[in-house]
Chains A and B, each alone.
Chain A
């Protein structure tokens, strides 16, 4: 090869390589989604509102998606609702997803004024009135946060015309609560004004949503009013297994100082309620203190999992597992990796991490794509279609990842879907030499599933709702036809 030819070949290789890398790093409007064993069924733009949490409810003969939103952005604090023609602070989107290929946007219910996490109505849970012990049998109740200041319950039996039932207000902050539909007991992530932490638990009896009955305040010793010294990590969210499981799994921390706390539900509800250190310690069975590098955004229990590898063992062939999902906070990998962890809590007094999962960064050069890269949350539906078989993890700019968790000692990715960006997708910035350097990328924030096997992901950067289904080998893992 001549010298000139070598030079030309080198330039060509460099050009092709650099353009390939650039394509891998940066999403482009009009480019197809990136997917493996998952495909797009339908979308809704959610009026270009930043989305936190979707909850899917089988309501009569319809399937309704309730989607909580963060507050607006600096550029657009209150997007215009095309249905009303008015600028409305972000709140709750209500979408009919009965036909997932044709989602129908029914209603936007405004939330608290304010930007980003300072406004909106991020969290939403739904219970049928006929399931609640003292509910109106014709009602469908939506529990949502109202910014950080309050919890609200609405009757959404007519999803196009929600009616406010009650409000629990006067709080410092709120977040990802849990509501047991069969008992009405709610573990509300609140910020009681006199507690030393921004978020703690207020346990309520919401069996009659029109008349909330407070049971007690709860948190880690050191967070209670009047205490001194170091303040433990603030709560992110609990998940209860109800009276039958008699456990509540509390996750503390987002991207730092994570703690999984295992609590005896019966003792929590019926034990001494004054928030003294002893009374706060009393219902705790154990806690798993994680690395200070990671938090506990979601603590998803999966008790009694049969482990194929242990099938012939005389003891320990089933294990109680909690999947712990950290939350990535900082853009462009400016923090330790936030990922997914599996804890074996079969011996509750000695919970132990047994495995972990993360998206390989190099598989998409995700640290360079813009926005957050890392885990945020998992689906929380316990419907049989996926429970203890598959988990879906929102991973911000790496979209949603489908994991085969039948052997939680060896979780395995079997699919993923990274939606295309659109003109609505908002930028994410980092400081470089004192100036903002911004990129546009998908920011898949939360994921939920329904009993039919559809997967719903929502975008923090305003790209909307994507409804997905599994294909190929991933479908077989779930046992779907």
Chain B
């Protein structure tokens, strides 16, 4: 009789572990499926640790893509910034992307390559913009800043890689467009 609690706890722990492992692989699998549908080999996204020190906002989620379509690799960092947006205007202009899109986590030195674009992520409108990023040691990366909003709240993402800005942008938006990511972003915007 006394073994029951031990068995239940062990089963729950195993179940949780299985869910965690499955969860870690959901994104790559969906990405691969999408790639197959498009007839184009896609890179493989893996969730990695949020590597930045604590700042004014809670940490978000980070992903790295390696594979044919990711060149030498793309990293994407995404998080909500609750209460950080103009409630009426939303992400009004490219300057706002410069200010909020977490590029400064990667480097204080970034220069926009061109004017940004209107985009939508998880049904939230906003803008994205391409940058030339000067990394520590003087190496240069292409980066994409993304900022979308819902009422007074922002969702921001920054992506960077050694490839060209267009491929970084394409890769980042593909990741953010995944069903599982959309579900997580919606929940994160509601504080869940």
Contacts and interface: CB of A to CB of B under 8 A. Distances in A.
A230 B108 contact: yes
A198 to B, nearest CB: 7
Interface string B68-112: 000000000000001110111100100110110001100111111
Interface stretch (A25-33, A111-119, A124-132, A209-217): A111-119
B108 A229 contact: yes
A116 B86 CA distance: 10
B83 A118 contact: no
A113 B98 CA distance: 29
B192 interface: yes
Given A196-B95, A257-B56, A293-B56, A334 B87 contact: no
A229 B110 contact: yes
A330 B99 contact: no
B35 to A, nearest CB: 31
A117 B88 CA distance: 8
A189 B144 CA distance: 31
A434 B55 CA distance: 27
A4 interface: no
Q: Is the interface of A mostly helix, strand, loop or mixed?
A: loop
A117 B86 CA distance: 8
Contacts, number: 61
A231 B89 contact: no
Contacts of B192: 433
B87 A231 contact: no
A197 B88 contact: no
B111 A228 contact: yes
A429 to B, nearest CB: 11
A118 B85 CA distance: 12
A388 interface: no
B191 interface: yes
Contacts of B56: 256-257, 292-293
Contacts of B96: 198
Interface string A159-194: 000000000000010000000000000000000000
A430 B83 CA distance: 12
Contacts of B112: 228
Contacts of A293: 56
Nearest to A434: B190
Nearest to A228: B111
A291 B110 CA distance: 24
A335 interface: yes
A197 B192 CA distance: 30
B84 A256 contact: yes
B82 A330 contact: yes
Interface string B150-192: 0000000000000000000000000000000000000000111
Contact of B103 (A230, A431, A434): A230
Contacts of B190: 431, 433-434
Nearest to A195: B95
A255 interface: yes
A118 B104 contact: no
B99 to A, nearest CB: 4
B112 to A, nearest CB: 7
A172 B88 CA distance: 13
Contacts of A195: 95
B43 to A, nearest CB: 29
Given A228-B109, A228-B111, A334 B82 contact: yes
Contacts of A197: 95, 99
A197 B95 CA distance: 7
A114 B84 contact: no
Nearest to A295: B56
A115 B88 contact: yes
Contacts of A329: 83
Nearest to B104: A230
Contacts of B54: 292
B142 to A, nearest CB: 15
A195 B93 CA distance: 12
Interface in A107-156: 114-118
A225 to B, nearest CB: 10
21 contacts: A114-B88, A115-B88, A116-B88, A117-B86, A117-B87, A118-B87, A172-B92, A196-B98, A197-B99, A198-B96, A229-B107, A229-B111, A230-B104, A230-B110, A231-B95, A231-B98, A256-B84, A257-B56, A292-B55, A330-B82, A334-B83
Given A228-B109, A257-B56, 16 more contacts: A116-B87, A117-B88, A118-B88, A195-B95, A196-B98, A196-B99, A229-B104, A229-B109, A230-B104, A230-B110, A256-B57, A292-B54, A292-B56, A330-B83, A431-B191, A433-B190
Interface of B: 54-57, 82-84, 86-89, 92, 95-96, 98-99, 103-104, 107-112, 190-192
